[in-house]
Amino acid sequence: MSNWRNALFAPRCVAVVGASATPGKAGTLFLKNLTAQESGFKGQVVAIHPSARELLGAPAYSRLDAAPTGVDLAVIVTPAASVPGVIEDCGKAGVPVAVVITGGFAEVGPQGAELQRRTLEAAAAQGVRLIGPNCFGVISAGCGLNASLSIGLPKKGGVSLITQSGAYGMAAYSRSMDEGVGFSKIVALGNKADLNETDILAYLADDPETTVIALLLESIRDGRRLFEALADITKRKPVVVLKTGRRPAGQRAAASHTAALSTDAVVVEAALRQAGAHVVEDGYALLNVAAALDWQPPLRGKNVAVITNSGGVGVELTDLLEEKGLAVPALSRELQEALARELPAHGSAINPIDVTTDWARFSRMYGACVAQLMESDEVDAVVPVLLQRSALMEEVSAAIIDAQATARAGGSQKPLHICWVAPRAADSNRARLLSAGIPCHLWPAGAATALAALRTRPAADLPPPLDAIASPGAVGPDGWIATADAFSLLARQGFSVAPFVMAASAKQACAGAAELGFPVVVKAERAGLTHKSDQGAVRLGLCDEASVARVYEDFCARLGPGPALVQKQSPAGLELVIGGRRDASFGPLVLFGLGGVWVEALNDVALRLAPFGVAEARAMLDELKGGKLLDGYRGAPPIDRNALAGLISELSRWFAAAGWVSEFDLNPIIGVGETFTMVDARMRAVSPR
Amino acid sequence: MSNWRNALFAPRCVAVVGASATPGKAGTLFLKNLTAQESGFKGQVVAIHPSARELLGAPAYSRLDAAPTGVDLAVIVTPAASVPGVIEDCGKAGVPVAVVITGGFAEVGPQGAELQRRTLEAAAAQGVRLIGPNCFGVISAGCGLNASLSIGLPKKGGVSLITQSGAYGMAAYSRSMDEGVGFSKIVALGNKADLNETDILAYLADDPETTVIALLLESIRDGRRLFEALADITKRKPVVVLKTGRRPAGQRAAASHTAALSTDAVVVEAALRQAGAHVVEDGYALLNVAAALDWQPPLRGKNVAVITNSGGVGVELTDLLEEKGLAVPALSRELQEALARELPAHGSAINPIDVTTDWARFSRMYGACVAQLMESDEVDAVVPVLLQRSALMEEVSAAIIDAQATARAGGSQKPLHICWVAPRAADSNRARLLSAGIPCHLWPAGAATALAALRTRPAADLPPPLDAIASPGAVGPDGWIATADAFSLLARQGFSVAPFVMAASAKQACAGAAELGFPVVVKAERAGLTHKSDQGAVRLGLCDEASVARVYEDFCARLGPGPALVQKQSPAGLELVIGGRRDASFGPLVLFGLGGVWVEALNDVALRLAPFGVAEARAMLDELKGGKLLDGYRGAPPIDRNALAGLISELSRWFAAAGWVSEFDLNPIIGVGETFTMVDARMRAVSPR
């Protein structure tokens, strides 16, 4: 079996290297977990031990190649120093994949990093793939495989978890026991010396037992590869992602325990969202949202119907949902009338649907309202609040479960989620609802957090790539490209730049200005002069040739001899910024923002991985906090959003194709209606290696 | 007993008006709740019933004044239409306070509103104070009084809850049973026709049994009075506030069930924070944070020490704490060394303190680290993460409880909070910790939310009020005051306005300009011309008399004859905005922001109730998202923050004293270093009634 995937998730024979029968030892725990009757693992489990013939009922051998049937999966718990040798043994015994539980590698410092390097080297030489080192292990619930530190197998279900934190492997088991969350595969990545998140994602994407993937990352091995995998997978299967180590102190903490490299949190979040992932901020939400996506259809829009037996909690939940970008719209008169027929006189059918405290009718009212709303096109999700008495009444839960069954039989694909505000005394009803696949989020805050995370923007198709765009010949010091060259290059590519001429003398400058028409802008061009405004190398609003000549001479006097760029001054308009850079992990990024020092100070920009299409660029416009300026704020003419999105998308395609450009900054671009004129351009070539 | 307060919270005799013995009726429930043995209420309970002599063991009378001892508290559950009559009876029987449970008043429409008006009228005429109508009731745990719909009394403790949502009266009981939250008083306000949040707050402020007040509001009756009460109380006792109905849809929902009037959510939040309240966004946090403040000392700073047996969860919690404005600082070398002595070789003492998975040493490590950190000045709170195994081990909880006891005995006033990530199997340890007054917040998200809400800025002392400032004589249409008058007024008050002269002819304008010195700004002054820039009535940068004359004539030609204001043009600087308005509920408000169309579009402003002192104004500067522009962004000179805060505070005092000003807008004020020049002023007088 040369495929590491099948060997890892459905092994015929697993060996515990470093197995033991001494209580408290990892080798004992793994042997017990793998052979536990209740797990139902049908494969063979063997122990690798220097002297024993049998350990805890499993046959023991001194070497991996002594096991009679070939070992598919080696679980290694021997001391760190021995691991490179064990990996070599794996190779010799034809073991395709090893899970290295042992810690003491890159996470503990340079010596450990060297040991990890040697381990990886041995693995590469022998063709053995590795999970870990320094990890919690692997679970494959479908075949009963518990090659992990978890004290039992979680309930079977559709959630597969890839986690860089072993604690969440353990937490998965707790959630499974306490909340009925069902799991298929759990893979702890540890230091991910070899196999990483993207390798496992690719497998789970096609795994029929996995309906939703939960991914907890502290670091990202190859951002672009992860992005591309996610953008592909999320079209078929939801992926929920928690990235920790977002803040400097969090990164410091991550560095101190798994040697994780820091990644720019803003870039990571932009990439995950662009790829269509459900991005969450904490581990509770990660598992909770994944379970909800396993049980319920996805959320297709933002409109939520709330049914409540407490007006006050209805108000609270409405606030929280709206603050998180969802909506609780007033229902149509028609639907209100239909719902009102079920309600007492003082109830409300507007939304939230307030069934009042008329508990004698709770089960009928909840059932009927859920049924009607599950069929309605006016809302995208139905959220009954079960609070105290309604939660304590078994018949209310039963009515909701029935209403769901009927709606699903009738083809409804609307998600149903409960907002649960009840004492422990109502837990049996909660268990009943969970068994029926209806999530019961705790209190309004929990419901709002989960529902908000369910909403995602599907990954857009990528635009067709452009042919590679050649580099200009001349590159200044540090890779900076002369403004005139940058303008010419952009103009050749079809972008609209402000008309200009290059002048090598005051006379040429005057002639050029006359040709362009006044007023003009004159900019000194000198190698290394990259912040022209700050260095007094730009003069705006020159209205005659005498002024132009004076400015040219002044530049020469102050900045040394050299040419000047004479540019037709653009009419007033909205200042925009489009720029790009290449991230070491995620590749080409393009940002868009409104210009001006204020917005720069507020860092109000939208970011995407390039290239991207017009739809994605439109979404960038909607993301800006100051986006209403595009609509003609204070009497200015509105900007054509489609035209602007087209420009941003085209620049993203150009940047992706112009691999020799390391960064660029078009600041400002003057926007007037559907016209966008680039009036300054900084561009830098990738520095030669 | 004429004092409604004692009558409400410690009545000697309670009457249920509308009492019954028929199961399922409110009159039965209240009678049962009041007489329940386990509540231990020592007062007398009587039933008011047309015919019965005795109901469920309580003596029954046909009228309130027939009860042999005087009734202190009447609990009214009779139909809505009868309530005004019952209140009259209360008055005749000398009952000082009534809790009206019955619904069907203002919350159901105009007819109900009329009934509520009549009820209130009767109460006022008879000197009876009211809680409700349409409410959950009142609990006073200290004397065993359960005059509420709650099925039992909560555990006794220091939290008192004032709630406009009955559901939270019920939820309090659940939290008490499930989490050990202890309560003193619970008051449901319902429609708060008479007694409102501020009345109850004032009582609880001096109630020795109440250590912390939790306040849930859907509407606010008198914002200024609430603000002043809170600002006073929070100096002595923490107050946690949830205001719902923040968003339009939430307000619509609130309106449909308690006839709550909408209040501007931004103003409410600013007022609550200025008053030193702990502002939370949801009801779970309300009760959770209140319980934490009952059990633990307040959080005095932002630095948190995290102790964890999972590196990954340590990273996650660190991210969340920092994203919410707290910090997880690296500890000093000295403290790290001291902590490291307790840790295994691969542990980390930086912060988070990572004790690793070395479970055999958990209790010793957790105990020792908590002990050391509780004594350290480097952190303001200690947060052990108890995750899976550490949570399941009883000796770990015991060690933490011991460490707390020792620290408290030694005088430590540092709060201790647990981040709990564990299965239900560990619940007995959780209960142990809760009994020891150590909050166990669920998962990192719960811990971060609670800790962030614990942090508050104490209410600042108010500056001494200024003498009332007289109104100018002349007021234009709609109350607008001529710019020159506004400038003169501000200048007389000692504020720095750009030098100007008024000119009634082109010649005067030229002479004035020459006197002021060029360049100048010329502004047309016409009654009703309130948006001068938009109407072409402002010309900047005029450099000679000819230009001034030309502009004057142009104004006359375009805008009709009239004077002009000639102003010395201010040098370039940072544009600032200070404005004010009077809110119907909260009174005078002052806002501060950075100028310019961008920031206006982003609505980046800080808001306070006026008047306020310099410290409060300094906090406003720190609140702005674009606040770094004050520090000399991109080479501009930095603004003197103290001088600016002084100006904002002075304007707040002026506005508070100038009661005839309904609104003002100084936009822009040009700031350069410590100089702030008002270059435009709009000011409007309160319209005559």
Chain B residue with CA closest to A444: the answer is B282
Asked if residue A154 has a cis previous peptide bond (ω within 30° of 0), the answer is: no
The whole model's pTM is what?
0.94
Q: A281 in contact with B at a CB cutoff of 8 Å?
A: yes
Report chain B's terminal Cα–Cα distance, integer Å: 43
The pair of structure tokens assigned to B334 is: 């000295």
Question: Does the structure show a pLDDT above 70 at A461?
Answer: yes
The CATH code that applies to domain B574-685 is 3.30.470.20
Q: Give yes or no for a contact between A434 and A440, defined as CB atoms under 8 angstroms apart.
A: yes
Q: B447 in contact with A at a CB cutoff of 8 Å?
A: no
Asked if residue A298 has a cis previous peptide bond (ω within 30° of 0), the answer is: no
- The class that CATH gives domain A1-136 is alpha beta
Beta bridge pairs of residue B146: B139
Beta-strand runs (E) in A528-586: 538-542, 564-568, 574-583
Identify residue A264 by its one-letter amino acid code: D
Q: Residue B310: which of A167, A625, A633 has the nearest Cβ?
A: A167
User: Do the strands B682-685 and B605-609 form a parallel or antiparallel pair, or are they unpaired?
Assistant: unpaired
Q: Give yes or no for a contact between B267 and B583, defined as CB atoms under 8 angstroms apart.
A: yes
Buried b / exposed e over B632-658, threshold 16 CB at 10 Å, is: ebeebeebbbeebbbbbbbbbbbbbbb
Closest CA to B389 of B367, B416, B357: B357
How many residue pairs from chains A and B have C-beta atoms closer than 8 A? 273
Q: Residue B178: which of A246, A357, A423 has the nearest Cβ?
A: A423
Q: B284 in contact with A at a CB cutoff of 8 Å?
A: yes
Q: Residue A322: which of B249, B319, B327 has the nearest Cβ?
A: B249
Question: Does the structure show a pLDDT above 70 at A488?
Answer: yes
Place of tokens 């990996």: A87
Q: A454 vs chain B: nearest CA distance in angstroms?
A: 17
Beta-strand runs (E) in B41-122: 44-48, 54-55, 58-61, 73-76, 97-100
Between CA B418 and CA B439 the distance in angstroms is 6
The CA-based angle B203-B209-B215, given to 5 degrees, is 55
Between CA A477 and CA B431 the distance in angstroms is 67
Q: What is the pLDDT of residues A326-341, one digit of tens each?
A: 999 999 999 999 999 9
pLDDT value at residue B623: 92
pLDDT value at residue A68: 87
Put simply, the answer to whether B329 touches A249 (Cβ < 8 Å) is yes
The CA-based angle A307-A308-A314, given to 5 degrees, is 100
Buried b / exposed e over A69-89, threshold 16 CB at 10 Å, is: eebbbbbbbbebeebbebbbb
**CB atoms closer than 10 angstroms to residue B206:** 11
Q: Judged by CB atoms within 8 Å, which residues 297-336 of A form the interface with B?
A: 310-316, 318-320, 322-323, 327-330
Residue A596 with chain B: CB contacts under 8 Å: 596, 598
Q: Greater confidence, A465 or A354?
A: A354
CA atoms within 13 A on the CB side of B487: 19
Length of chain B: 689
Q: Which strand (E) or helix (H) includes residue B685?
A: strand B682-685
Residue A256 with chain B: CB contacts under 8 Å: 311, 348, 350, 354
Q: Residue B633: which of A167, A216, A601 has the nearest Cβ?
A: A601
Please report which confidence band the pLDDT of residue A1 belongs to, taking 50, 70 and 90 as the band edges.
Answer: very low
**CB atoms closer than 10 angstroms to residue A517:** 10
Residue B256 with chain A: CB contacts under 8 Å: 311, 348, 350, 354
pLDDT value at residue B258: 57
Between CA A519 and CA A182 the distance in angstroms is 70
Question: Does the structure show a pLDDT above 80 at A449?
Answer: yes
pLDDT value at residue B479: 86
Mean pLDDT, to the nearest integer, of A663-681? 93
Q: What is the pLDDT of residues B268-312, one digit of tens each?
A: 999 999 999 999 999 999 999 999 999 999 999 999 999 999 999
Same fold, B1-135 and B301-454: yes
Q: Which strand (E) or helix (H) includes residue A516?
A: helix A506-516
The pair of structure tokens assigned to A535 is: 């260095």
User: Do the strands B538-542 and B520-524 form a parallel or antiparallel pair, or are they unpaired?
Assistant: antiparallel
Beta-strand runs (E) in B231-301: 239-243, 278-280
Between CA A499 and CA A497 the distance in angstroms is 6
Query: Is B1-135 a domain of CATH 3.40.50.300?
Result: no
Q: B442 vs chain A: nearest CA distance in angstroms?
A: 9
Q: Give yes or no for a contact between A674 and A638, defined as CB atoms under 8 angstroms apart.
A: no
Q: A146 in contact with B at a CB cutoff of 8 Å?
A: no
Put simply, the answer to whether A282 touches B256 (Cβ < 8 Å) is no
Q: A250 in contact with B at a CB cutoff of 8 Å?
A: yes
Q: What is the pLDDT of residues B450-475, one digit of tens each?
A: 999 999 989 998 898 888 887 777 77
Beta bridge pairs of residue B577: B593
What is the fold, at CATH topology level, of the domain defined by B301-454?
A: Rossmann fold (3.40.50)
Put simply, the answer to whether B246 touches A174 (Cβ < 8 Å) is no
Q: A315 vs chain B: nearest CA distance in angstroms?
A: 5
Put simply, the answer to whether A284 touches B446 (Cβ < 8 Å) is yes
Q: Residue B424: which of A165, A178, A604 has the nearest Cβ?
A: A178
Between CA A127 and CA A563 the distance in angstroms is 61
Put simply, the answer to whether B423 touches A178 (Cβ < 8 Å) is yes
CATH for the B154-295 domain, from 3.30.70.20, 3.40.50.261, 3.30.360.10, 3.40.50.2300: 3.40.50.261
Q: Which strand (E) or helix (H) includes residue B507?
A: helix B506-516
pLDDT value at residue A260: 55
Between CA A548 and CA B279 the distance in angstroms is 60
Closest CA to B373 of B398, B347, B421, B410: B410
Best of B262, B282, B430, B534 to disrupt the A interface (most A CBs within 10 Å) is B282
Put simply, the answer to whether A247 touches B628 (Cβ < 8 Å) is no
Residue A176 with chain B: CB contacts under 8 Å: none
Q: Greater confidence, A597 or B390?
A: B390
Q: B462 in contact with A at a CB cutoff of 8 Å?
A: no
Q: A191 in contact with B at a CB cutoff of 8 Å?
A: no
Q: What is the pLDDT of residues A189-235, one digit of tens each?
A: 999 999 999 999 999 999 999 999 999 999 998 999 999 999 999 99
Put simply, the answer to whether B174 touches A312 (Cβ < 8 Å) is no
Q: Give yes or no for a contact between A453 and A292, defined as CB atoms under 8 angstroms apart.
A: no
Identify residue B421 by its one-letter amino acid code: V
Please report which confidence band the pLDDT of residue A256 belongs to, taking 50, 70 and 90 as the band edges.
Answer: low
Query: Measured between alpha carbons, how far is residue B605 from residues A678, B278, B627, B631, B671 in Å?
Result: 32, 21, 10, 17, 16
Query: Measured between alpha carbons, how far is residue B274 from residues A338, B271, B459, B590, B656 in Å?
Result: 46, 5, 6, 12, 16
Q: B148 vs chain A: nearest CA distance in angstroms?
A: 14
In three state form, how does the secondary structure of A201-222 look?
Answer: HHHHHCCCCCCEEEEEECCCCC
CATH architecture of A499-568: 2-Layer Sandwich (3.30)
Put simply, the answer to whether A346 touches B284 (Cβ < 8 Å) is no
Q: B427 vs chain A: nearest CA distance in angstroms?
A: 12
Put simply, the answer to whether A244 touches B628 (Cβ < 8 Å) is no
Q: A173 in contact with B at a CB cutoff of 8 Å?
A: yes
Residue ranges of domains in chain A: 1-136, 154-295, 300-454, 499-568, 574-685
CATH H-level superfamily of A300-454: Succinyl-CoA synthetase domains (3.40.50.261)
Helices and strands in chain A, H and E counts: 23, 29
Put simply, the answer to whether B253 touches A350 (Cβ < 8 Å) is yes
Positions in chain B short of pLDDT 50: 1-2, 689
Backbone angles phi, psi at B101, to 5 degrees: -80, -40
Residue A357 with chain B: CB contacts under 8 Å: 166
Q: Give yes or no for a contact between B458 and B235, defined as CB atoms under 8 angstroms apart.
A: yes
Identify residue B622 by its one-letter amino acid code: D
Helix, strand, coil share of chain B (percent; to 5): 40, 20, 35
Q: Residue A244: which of B242, B316, B598 has the nearest Cβ?
A: B316
- What secondary structure letter does DSSP report for A106? G
Q: A169 in contact with B at a CB cutoff of 8 Å?
A: no
Q: What is the pLDDT of residues A260-291, one digit of tens each?
A: 555 689 999 999 999 999 999 999 999 999 99
Between CA B603 and CA B579 the distance in angstroms is 13
Q: A572 in contact with B at a CB cutoff of 8 Å?
A: no
